[in-house]
Structure 1
Amino acid sequence: MRSCRLFVFTFLILLTVFIPAVLAQDGSSAFASGVVFEDSNLNGVRDAGERGIPDVCVSNGRDIVKTKGDGSYRLPITDDTIIFVIKPSGFMTPTDSNNLPKFFYIHKPKGSPKLKYAGVLPTGPLPESVDFALYKHREPYNFQAVFFGDTQVRNRKEVAYLAHDIIEGLIGKEFSFGCTLGDIVFDDLSVYDAILPTVAQMGVTWYNVKGNHDSNYDGAPNQRLTDETFERVFGPSYYSFNYGRVHFIVLNNVYWGDGGGYKGKLDEDQIEFLKNDMRFVPSGYLVVVLTHIPFDEIENKQDVYRILESRRQVLAIAGHTHTQEHRFIGASGGWKGDNPLHVFIDGTACGCWWGGEPDELGIPHATMSDGVPNGYAIVNFDGNKYSITFVPARRPLDYQMDISAPDDVQISEVHKTIITANIFNGSSRSKVEMNVDGGEWIPMKQSGSHIWQAVLPSGIETGTHTINVRTTDMFGKVYTGRRIFRVIP
């Protein structure tokens, strides 16, 4: 009887050791633990005396926990998990040689499958402690960030276009950080090696969104396998971070899971991550969602709207369309928040895919299909408020419109001649008006997302005249443009 009891006791002990080990191998019941610490000497390693930081959020891409008083956390993982820290305001993560933030640990013991473009190498056994370094960082409530719509470079030649057209003019500018809104490259993922050090010349921390052209096509239709190279280079394809009084959420809404190409959609893990993430965002923070495909074009947008619409103000910034546009989504679009969802589609850095006639420097004009020049956006954040400025590549900041009018107008046709103004950063909340030779201002009517028109006033005599167009945007900024024309007999 005694030997039987000893056998049962020994068997139970073995079960407590053996079963968790088996479960951990198949990825269903393993845990990662570690410490978020203040890296006082900025060496990326927790040294003696470096304190743990409490109340910092850490995620496995689905669940989110806050660190305890000693900075420790514990999260469930599988054999394909990226653990990442959600940067709190007042702290910063280390960055690598290309100014990419180092805020994650990839746990993929067997590595990525063999694909055309390399994914993650085998990471081996999980470390005993997965620690994250943060250091104190002054973050004023008023700050600027720069956003690139699709840079979408095919090769090193187009990387040079980007360098000369945009990057060189931004070196030395004071930005808190920058972000590319997907389609960083154009299918050839090896071009990351050229574009990343080029963008890094700006000297600011740079975040990245995954676009459809940043995908491992040979991983589709398995959604998880389309991100392998992106994960190797940038880390998780969705995450969040805080800066000042703003909470930024980067989402991967390029969905390949149904076969037959991609569509705009968030998978179940991201929906759960978003729900959990919003639980920890202070009520007074502005929420900014960064995606590749415009937020209002995703298939399950209503599910996502329900998570976000309780916030007082939500700004969603995207690329993808190679146009520039402001959309305001209210009840008719399914948004039930007190204030409309503001979707800003950022004009692309590559314009029309680096197409068009080259200029004297050999750089294509790259004008987008909506007539907006290629460029980028600067967003000024002031507490939980914001304003957006469009900057055309290698043009003066006050170049904010194109005015279309005939060079010559017969005097008998003056009252029928339509003047068209393309206000690059215009929206339904813009005011646009015109006059001739400083006369009375005439309201112009919006006829497109950023197109306004008006007829020339009667009574203009023969001779040379100047059309003046003035716009006041939704943020109160005023810009003017001019066009000279002649009235002939």
Structure 2
Amino acid sequence: MEVLVRFCLLLLIFLTLPSSAIAQSEVSGALAGVVFEDTDGDGRRGPGEPGLAGVVVCSRSACVQTDDGGIYEVAVEPGYRVVYVSLPDGYRAVRAYWRRVPADPFEWLVSFPLEKTPSSRAFSFIHASDTHLDEESLPRIRLLRELTEARGVDFVIITGDLIRDALRVPEETALERYELFRKEKDAFPVPVWVVPGNHENFGIERHLSGVSEDHPLYGKAMYRRFLGPTYYSFNYGGVHFVGLDTVDIADKWYYAHVDATQMSWLDEDLSMVPAETPIITFNHIPLFSAVIHGWRYYPDGGSLIEIDGREQYRHMVSNYAEVLERFVGRNYPLALGGHGHAREEILLGDRRFETRFHQTAAVVGDTGQREGMQYASGVTLYRMRDGKIEGWEFILLDEPSVPSGSVDSQS
């Protein structure tokens, strides 16, 4: 009865919105719904399917937890059209973990059906990056899919530069590439978790793309249309995984930075995670790198860019200290990144925490020499047990076995 009353009250609020609020891009308010256990997996709530309490639901920087009946209300900001759940341990999303916020506020009742899955404290996953997908590179992502099937991992993380490029191309080309990536991602036998890279930002190099800043899919909007939130979290096997968007935009250029809105979201997300819970972050441009900090391959951009009178890194997160401050006093064993097309392992011996910063190589294949280095194509497979990294293995995509001298342990 209480649930029914709450929904009726919310509906009354929506019905009293002024007619000028119908254009979603101009609307702020509260979106509501229910997160429930979908016992028959049909995507609809039926009799006896219980609401799930304590599930985190977010939209942009606002996060809430569902009540005892699985009900949530979360703030919606003008122009932001994504709402999502942080999947709890032992559940999978029946349709998707995210939804587009309906354009009409009269339809602002969005529910999430979740299905129970076997939960194990021992699991494995693949960290891949830089698939740069288009028709030419299509065999490479299918090679990754074959490896995923052969190794029997629980899920895959791909840390950005998912498509060949959207920065410098017209709308038709970018849409084709996004469609292709979504199709290939959905063909994997296990969940594939992704975050955006610099090449996913649609049209921002306007002198090359010919795209206007007023285009409705400009910048990150195209990514959100196809793939959902640019930052989010999920839980698996006793570990809290946090996907970050480390690519910011200044006029026609990208640079490595986590903005204030995302920082607010990160504070909200972590506030609902016990301090002892292991956390693994994954993002495109790395927080730390010894390989790519001095890149000079952009003749008009280079490694540094001036933002509001301050020099900022383009290829390593400029405000890394602000990000890491959020993890002080927490169990933060691993930070995953990409961007450099190179395998790299750094152990940060900070007195407040000990974190390994691992970049994996590019799936796309041989990208030639860069700064005198030539990098192999490959991915990294991690094995986890009881919230700890049991080991990892770098796997060459163009060779049948692990390269000699590769590290397959934490030592």
TM-score, normalisation: structure 2: 0.78
Q: Are 1:192 and 2:184 matched, yes or no?
A: no
- Superimposed CA distance per residue, residues 42-86 of structure 1 (whole angstroms, 9 cap, x where no aligned partner): 111112321111111111121211111100011111342311111
8 Å contact kept, 2:285–2:339: yes
Structure 2 unmatched runs, 5+? 1-12, 166-172, 205-210, 289-315
Task: From the superposition, tell whether residues 323 and 75 of structure 1 become closer, same or farther in structure 2 (CA, over 3 Å).
Answer: same
Q: Are 1:133 and 2:113 matched, yes or no?
A: yes
Provide the rounded CA distance (Å) in 1 between the counterparts of 2:185 and 2:109. 33
What secondary structure, in the 3-state scheme, does the structure 1 residue paired with 2:339 have? coil
> Paired residue for 1:378, among 371, 377, 381?
381
| 2:192 alignment counterpart | 206
Task: From the superposition, tell whether residues 157 and 20 of structure 1 become closer, same or farther in structure 2 (CA, over 3 Å).
Answer: same
Provide the rounded CA distance (Å) in 2 between the counterparts of 1:55 and 1:228. 29
Task: From the superposition, tell whether residues 224 and 159 of structure 1 become closer, same or farther in structure 2 (CA, over 3 Å).
Answer: closer
How many aligned positions are there?
354
| 1:322 alignment counterpart | 341
> Paired residue for 1:239, among 218, 232, 244?
232
What secondary structure, in the 3-state scheme, does the structure 1 residue paired with 2:136 have? helix
Provide the rounded CA distance (Å) in 2 between the counterparts of 1:281 and 1:141. 17
Amino acid at match of 1:303: E
Stretch deviating more after TM superposition (261-270 or 387-396): 387-396
Q: How does 1:410-421 map to 2 (within 5 A)?
A: none
> Paired residue for 2:248, among 251, 255, 258?
255
| 1:104 alignment counterpart | 98
8 Å contact kept, 2:362–2:379: yes
| 1:487 alignment counterpart | none
Amino acid at match of 1:62: S
- Superimposed CA distance per residue, residues 277-320 of structure 1 (whole angstroms, 9 cap, x where no aligned partner): 11111233210111000023212212111111221333110110
Task: From the superposition, tell whether residues 388 and 125 of structure 1 become closer, same or farther in structure 2 (CA, over 3 Å).
Answer: same
Provide the rounded CA distance (Å) in 2 between the counterparts of 1:162 and 1:22. 46
Structure 1 unmatched runs, 5+? 1-14, 96-101, 110-123, 357-366, 402-422, 427-472, 477-489
Q: Are 1:393 and 2:397 matched, yes or no?
A: yes
| 1:435 alignment counterpart | none
Provide the rounded CA distance (Å) in 2 between the counterparts of 1:263 and 1:291. 14
What secondary structure, in the 3-state scheme, does the structure 1 residue paired with 2:251 have? coil
| 2:42 alignment counterpart | 43
TM-score, normalisation: structure 1: 0.66
What secondary structure, in the 3-state scheme, does the structure 1 residue paired with 2:379 have? strand
Provide the rounded CA distance (Å) in 2 between the counterparts of 1:94 and 1:147. 24
Cα distance, 1:392 vs structure 2: 0.5
Provide the rounded CA distance (Å) in 2 between the counterparts of 1:19 and 1:169. 52
Task: From the superposition, tell whether residues 377 and 33 of structure 1 become closer, same or farther in structure 2 (CA, over 3 Å).
Answer: same
Provide the rounded CA distance (Å) in 2 between the counterparts of 1:126 and 1:320. 42
Q: Which has the higher contact order (CA 8 A, sep 6+)?
A: 2
Task: From the superposition, tell whether residues 148 and 167 of structure 1 become closer, same or farther in structure 2 (CA, over 3 Å).
Answer: same
Cα distance, 1:31 vs structure 2: 0.8
Task: From the superposition, tell whether residues 126 and 369 of structure 1 become closer, same or farther in structure 2 (CA, over 3 Å).
Answer: farther
| 2:271 alignment counterpart | 279
- Superimposed CA distance per residue, residues 364-387 of structure 1 (whole angstroms, 9 cap, x where no aligned partner): xxx996444211111111122112
